[in-house]
Amino acid sequence: MRELYVALWDHLVACYQRLRKTAIEPLSQAPAAPRSIIVFSTTSLGDLLLNTPSIRALRHSFPEAALTLVVHPKMYPFVAGYTRVDHIETWRNKYRDLPAALVKLRRLTPDWVVMLHSNGPQDIHLAALSGASIILKESDDPHVHRWTSCKVASQDMHAIRKRLEMVSRLGCDSEDARMEIPNPKSARGYGLKDSSARLIVGFQAGASEPYKRWPTAKFAELANRLLGYSPSLEIVLTGTREEATLADAIMAKLVDKDRIHNFCGRCKLQELPGLIQEMDVLVTGDTGPLHVAIAQQVSTVSLFSATNPKWTGPIQDIALHRVIKKPGENVQAHLRRKLRDETVMEIIQVAEVYHAAIELLEQKRSQVSAGSLFYEDVRKGPAA
């Protein structure tokens, strides 16, 4: 049924282009400078941040072009006020919303559509109907290549590097791979870091898929160990309203709840950078808040099992981060990855996460005067 539906849309797009006498042009070595560029980033928070180096490169390379960013409606508050772009449009990445999205995009008269991360084939059909003469998307699917200006095959490299390589085909500089917060002015702090002697460790227990989530029981065990490390240490739980049950499961197993701040479901998406910026270390799986922290030079302990840090792990300010990778590809290998559960992450042990977090906390000593009470407290912590 899906194949028939896609074939129908292919036919509609082909007929539309014949009637309007428009065509997608092959990409030459030096395409003419565009007047209007549309960038698709219609998936998750993490991918949106991974796309910011490419958005910045397009802005720097084509400052006169009108640059429009298309995001999922849930991401709009996070990107509102983004100075790299001139317009922001929203689309749910669904066929049923395609006609309304098409009306908005055609009004922009795009010359180029650059699809940094979006779900298909509905995205490629929307791009092909937009009137753009150059369309780029990374894919190994021959169906996608039918509607793009050149084949951009998947490569075994970091997501940021792959997308920068794609926009370099348009003449962009692909050197600067640093992520950025779209609108840092919208982030407000919560006053947690009111003293240099106060240590804040964040926990992000949720993720888009179960196979990216470290079990709540292990987070709780880690919390109990960290709270014994220093009386100045406090823990912040982050997450969406839908992830509140994960925070509740962690809280239920804690010995000392007085030094826990549960922001699950209480922190708006646009406020997340401000909350994370107050942390000394964030412990997280392969999910959006990891990239929010990296973009702000906040130290992280990132946990990978079925996914690979080679593709989505830290590649900037490496000294600030510790990556723990286990061979989770071999766990529940009989299941498709999206059907796997937290079992994939259970092979990551609490002790190694604890040691990584403590190592990063010790790096904070250079930011505090020698001989402070904080250092005395830290040195009284339990032996690891």
**In angstroms, rounded to a whole number, what is the distance separating the alpha carbons of residues 63 and 54?**
14
Strand runs labelled E in 118-178? 134-137
For residue 97, the surrounding DSSP H or E stretch is: none
**In angstroms, rounded to a whole number, what is the distance separating the alpha carbons of residues 203 and 359?**
16
**In angstroms, rounded to a whole number, what is the distance separating the alpha carbons of residues 14 and 6?**
12
Which token pair is 271?
A: 């406020």
User: What 3-state class would DSSP assign to 29?
Assistant: coil
Strand runs labelled E in 109-198? 112-117, 134-137
Residues of the chain with CATH 3.40.50.2000: 2-174, 193-379
Pairing of strands 36-41, 233-238: unpaired
Q: Is 2-174 in CATH node 3.40.50.2000?
A: yes
**In angstroms, rounded to a whole number, what is the distance separating the alpha carbons of residues 338 and 266?**
28
| DSSP letter assigned to residue 36 | E
Pairing of strands 233-238, 112-117: unpaired
Which candidate, 83, 137, 125, 129, places its Cα nearest to that of 108? 129
Q: Is 193-379 in CATH node 3.40.50.2000?
A: yes
> How many residues does this entry show for the chain?
384
Which candidate, 43, 209, 73, 60, places its Cα nearest to that of 137? 43
Which candidate, 268, 40, 304, 54, places its Cα nearest to that of 159? 54
pTM of the prediction?
Answer: 0.90
**pLDDT tens, per residue, the chain with 384 residues:** 677 777 888 878 788 777 766 678 888 777 889 999 999 999 999 999 999 999 999 999 999 999 999 999 999 999 999 999 999 999 999 989 999 999 999 999 999 999 999 998 999 999 999 999 999 999 988 888 888 888 888 888 999 999 999 999 999 999 999 999 998 876 677 788 776 678 999 999 999 888 899 999 999 999 999 999 999 999 999 999 999 999 999 999 998 899 999 999 889 999 999 999 999 999 999 999 999 999 999 999 999 998 899 999 999 999 999 999 998 776 666 666 666 677 889 999 999 999 999 999 998 766 554 444 343 333 333 333
